[in-house]
Amino acid sequence: MRRNLSGVGTMTGVLVRSPDGVQGVAFMLVFPLTFVANVFVPVEGLPDGLRQVAEWNPISAIVAATRTLFGNPTAIPSDAAWPMEHPVVASLLWCAAILAVCVPLCLARFRARTTD
């Protein structure tokens, strides 16, 4: 996950020119994802639209995987989405997907900035 966040942070730093702008963008990305996840509230207690967002949220997958790997898994509802049923695999797939998107975008933007 650390490399994953480094890729997102690097991309944010290349896209935004000031340090204050990077902090603002990071704040706007991390907090909504954290609050619409299973970090603080169990997913099964959320309303339908919010529940689907929380079940497919990458933060939810990573939190559920961490809890599972440390021997403290949460109860999985019978109609849970695939990432909640397989949190370790889902978190690895989320990390790969985010890196697959962020690394090429970051490299392209960096090359465009250095040639300008």
d(CA 5, CA 42): 24
pLDDT (0 to 100) of residue 5: 64
pLDDT in tens, 5-41: 667 777 777 777 777 777 777 777 778 888 888 888 8
d(CA 33, CA 5): 13
Q: Is 43 exposed, middle or buried (0-12, 13-18, 19+ CB in 10 A)?
A: buried
The pTM assigned to this predicted structure is 0.79
pLDDT (0 to 100) of residue 97: 92
